[in-house]
């Protein structure tokens, strides 16, 4: 009996400690409550005067407490090990599928010292080849050193800082569950992909051209955004350097030199503008896959500011979001769909034929050949063709004395394009307040463009109203095509202000962007007579078989389209295509946060030996279907982006492509082209790429040429 009492007394203190753990009250507090309750019973009460006896078996108590502590520590260690194993597995698959890191997993791994020895069943998932697991290293998980054996990590100050930045970025830019599931589905749909481990580095999975490819991705580590090579952190210092070295005019060459020095991706800050610039088609493919339902490209803020201060509506070029999509769908029906192309193709063919007749007359006056700078005539051709398609009327620019109004329009477009690039890097409203000459010139040019467009729109409106007695019915003007303007007015899906805004943008973007590539095309065909003759033979055969149908003639001469693509590869109108990804992406193993402006640099891409074989050779056959399929099989798509890609590609693409092809078709049927010097053209950038000095072309009349 004494033994039982002694055991009970010895267990009283540990039991009281366990009770306090459950209740959350400390021993002192619990005791004070008991003493208070006893004191309230009365000073003479038995409970108030009772003294708790001291136990005499202290060694037994200490042994019991030690056993409890050991059991608690073992339990906590077991839980920590299991949590760390799960964290290791999650970190493994995050790196495999290039997902963001997780701070909780980082803490779990740190709690066990950063080293986890995975059980056999989990290890076999990571190492299906049966290789021995040497443990999971925290630094390897979050710094990309994989599960390889024998790795020693130097914990220098720089790596610690990079690790801290990556953890912050991973927490701030973590993917949602839905995005992860979409990524997993895309990876599964692309075929079987295995992630293995080699001695010395981790083999990671990367998405290229919509497919998952396996390779050594910089030792498996996704680097932070701050680690992307850059041209300088201060945008204002870079802006001053651009001004001093006149880099705006040679921006395409600056990009080419920078890619050569820094690699296929770099960051650049210039004034208020920041961007990530990329070169390789695989990276461009990944960028376009993340553009979202409403793709965004760089807003030309000087243009947008002009619309706001003049209270003009914005067209699709300056809009974003659902408003952009709604307007764009309406425009696509009139300028992009195959039915629309069939309607305006005869108008473009008519203008191209008239231009060749005009040139034939001038050549005949000079004898059998004429050497000249064709650029002024090409600008008139582009404006005449654009007006015929957009307004449904000719403006007589091929006459001996073109109108002063048209000449002013061409001048205004050139001035607008020239003044845009410098204004991109400065706040336009600040320049407006300062009445800066650069802004004044830019705004005046736009005012001329809008004035020209408004006069044409009013004329078109009156013409259609009178022909239909005030009502608009499809097939106006006696069944003749009324132009894009007439079609939009007839359908009434867009307000008159929106029609005016979009028609003005189409006109402003449809002159220089067509006339300048035609200069380059005539030059390249002139200095490559073998290519010229090959294309001419195909054109002649196709023209004879088409029986005068321009659409059939173009379909039968794919080298014409190849010629245009080759010209735009070497001399892209716009030297970049921009997008803002709607989700985090990985390019060249660097983390790119959502919302970052990423630019695909077309001029360096078109002349890169990593993208094109013998890139400086003018070869339209490189775009033939057979060779292109072979290139696509190698994952090298997205190489021809002069008109952009996807839902936000150039809205006037079909007009421009067919206009240039029909022009070259009739030129090759009528003339032999030659140049006096085969030296490369020096080029400069306004908003578009153009020659510093327009090339002089010799046009020689071909015998039997159509008139």
CA distance 191 to 185: 10
Sheet with 598-601: strands ordered across? 265-270, 273-278, 598-601, 576-579
Extract the tokens encoding 625: 């279907």
- Tokens standing for 109? 């791994």
Q: Using the 8-state DSSP alphabet, how is residue 216 labeled?
A: -
Residue partners of 694: CB distance under 8 A and separation at least 6: 373, 374, 375, 519
Cα angle 478, 481, 484; round to 5: 135
Q: Are strands 598-601 and 273-278 parallel, antiparallel or unpaired?
A: parallel
Q: Please identify which residue in the block is written with the tokens 């290519």.
A: 531
DSSP 105-168: HHHHHHHTTTEE---HHHHHHH-TT-PPP--EEHHHHHHT-TT-TT------HHHHHHHHHHHH
For 368-378, b/e burial (b = at least 16 CB within 10 A) is eebebebbebb
CA nearest neighbour of 589 among 311, 203, 43: 203
370: part of which helix (H) or strand (E)?
A: strand 369-372
User: Of 390, 382, 351, nearest to 482 (Cα)?
Assistant: 390
Which residues are annotated binding-site positions for heme?
650
DSSP letter (8 states) at residue 665: H
Of the candidates 300, 355, 682, 345, the one whose C-alpha atom is nearest the C-alpha of residue 515 is 355
Q: At what angle do helices 301-310 and 437-467 cross, to 10 degrees?
A: 60
216, 305, 383, 386 from 509: Cα distances, Å: 44, 18, 10, 10
Listing DSSP states for 502-558 in one string gives HHHHHHHTSSHHHHHHHHHHHHHHHH-HHHHHHHHHHHHHHHHHHTT-HHHHHHT-H
Phi, psi at 305, each rounded to 5° = -65, -40
- Contact call for residues 344 and 481 (beta carbons, < 8 A): yes
Where does residue 41 rank: exposed (0-12), middle (13-18), buried (19+ CB within 10 A)? exposed
Looking at residue 230, the DSSP 8-state letter turns out to be B
State in Å, rounded, how far the first CA of the chain is from the last one: 130
- The Cα–Cα gap between 373 and 98 comes to 54
Residues pairing with 204 in the sheet:
215
- Detail the residues annotated as belonging to a binding site: 650
Based on its alpha-carbon atoms, the radius of gyration of the chain, rounded to whole angstroms, reads 36
Backbone angles phi, psi at 227, to 5 degrees: -85, -10
Contacts of 123 (CB under 8 A, 6+ apart): 133
CA distance 65 to 70: 9
What size, in residues, is the chain? 707
Cα 517 from Cα 665, distance rounded (Å): 15
């Amino acid at each position: 009996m004494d033994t039982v009492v002694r055991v009970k007394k010895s267990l009283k203190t540990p039991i009281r400690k366990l009770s306090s753990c459950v209740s959350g009250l400390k021993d002192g507090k619990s005791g004070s409550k008991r003493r208070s309750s006893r004191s309230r019973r009365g000073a003479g009460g038995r409970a108030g005067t009772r003294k708790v006896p001291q136990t005499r078996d202290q060694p037994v108590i200490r042994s019991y407490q030690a056993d409890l502590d050991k059991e608690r520590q073992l339990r906590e260690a077991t839980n920590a090990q299991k949590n760390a194993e799960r964290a290791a597995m999650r970190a493994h698959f995050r790196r495999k599928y290039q997902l963001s890191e997780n701070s909780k997993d980082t803490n779990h791994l740190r709690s066990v010292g950063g080293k986890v020895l995975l059980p056999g069943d989990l290890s076999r998932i990571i190492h299906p080849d049966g290789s021995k697991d040497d443990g999971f290293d925290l630094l390897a998980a979050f710094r990309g050193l994989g599960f390889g054996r024998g790795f020693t990590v130097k914990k220098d100050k720089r790596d610690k800082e990079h690790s801290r930045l990556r953890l912050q970025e991973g927490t701030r830019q973590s993917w949602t569950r839905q995005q992860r599931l979409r990524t997993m589905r895309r990876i599964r749909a692309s075929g079987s992909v295995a992630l293995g481990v080699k001695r010395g580095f981790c083999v990671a999975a990367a998405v290229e051209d919509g497919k998952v490819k396996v390779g050594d991705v910089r030792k498996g580590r996704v680097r932070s955004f701050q680690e992307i090579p850059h041209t300088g952190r201060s945008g204002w210092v870079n802006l001053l350097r651009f001004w001093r070295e006149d880099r705006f005019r040679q921006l395409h060459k600056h990009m080419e030199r920078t890619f050569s020095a820094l690699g296929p991706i770099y960051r650049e800050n210039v004034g208020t503008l920041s961007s990530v610039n990329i070169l390789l088609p695989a990276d461009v493919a990944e960028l376009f896959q993340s553009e979202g339902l409403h793709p965004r490209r760089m807003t030309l803020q000087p243009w947008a500011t002009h619309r706001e201060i003049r209270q003009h509506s914005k067209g699709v070029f300056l809009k974003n979001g659902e408003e952009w999509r709604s307007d764009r769908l309406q425009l696509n029906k009139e300028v992009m769909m195959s039915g629309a192309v069939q309607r305006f193709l005869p108008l473009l063919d008519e203008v191209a034929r008239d231009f060749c007749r005009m040139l034939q007359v001038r050549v005949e006056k000079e004898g059998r050949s004429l050497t000249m700078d064709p650029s002024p005539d090409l600008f008139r051709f582009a404006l005449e063709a654009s007006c015929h398609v957009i307004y449904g009327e000719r403006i007589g620019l091929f006459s001996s004395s073109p109108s002063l109004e048209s000449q002013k329009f061409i001048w205004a477009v050139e001035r607008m394009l020239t003044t845009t690039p410098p204004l991109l890097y400065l706040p336009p409203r600040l320049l407006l307040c300062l009445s800066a000459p650069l802004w004044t010139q830019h705004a005046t040019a736009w005012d001329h463009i809008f004035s020209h467009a408004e006069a044409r729109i009013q004329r078109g409106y009156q013409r259609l109203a009178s022909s239909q007695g005030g009502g608009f019915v499809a097939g106006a003007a006696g069944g003749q095509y009324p132009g894009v303007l007439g079609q939009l007015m007839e359908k009434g899906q867009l307000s008159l202000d929106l029609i005016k805004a979009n028609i003005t943008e189409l006109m402003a973007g449809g002159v220089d962007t067509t006339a300048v590539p035609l200069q380059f095309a005539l030059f390249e065909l002139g200095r490559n007579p073998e290519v010229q003759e090959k294309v001419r033979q195909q054109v002649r055969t196709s023209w004879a078989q088409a029986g005068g149908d321009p659409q059939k003639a173009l379909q039968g001469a794919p080298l014409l389209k190849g010629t245009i693509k080759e010209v735009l590869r070497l001399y892209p109108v716009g030297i970049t295509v921009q997008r803002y990804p709607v989700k985090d992406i990985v390019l060249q193993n660097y983390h790119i946060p959502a919302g970052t402006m990423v630019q695909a640099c077309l001029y360096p891409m078109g002349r890169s030996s990593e993208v094109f074989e013998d890139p400086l050779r003018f070869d339209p056959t490189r775009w033939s279907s057979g060779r292109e399929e072979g290139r696509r099989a190698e994952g090298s798509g997205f190489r021809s982006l002069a008109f952009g890609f996807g839902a936000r590609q150039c809205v006037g693409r079909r007009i421009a492509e067919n206009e240039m092809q029909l022009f070259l078709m009739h030129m090759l049927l009528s003339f032999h082209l030659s140049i006096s010097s085969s030296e490369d053209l020096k080029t400069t950038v306004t908003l578009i790429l153009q020659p510093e000095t327009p090339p002089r072309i010799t046009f020689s009349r071909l015998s039997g040429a159509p008139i």
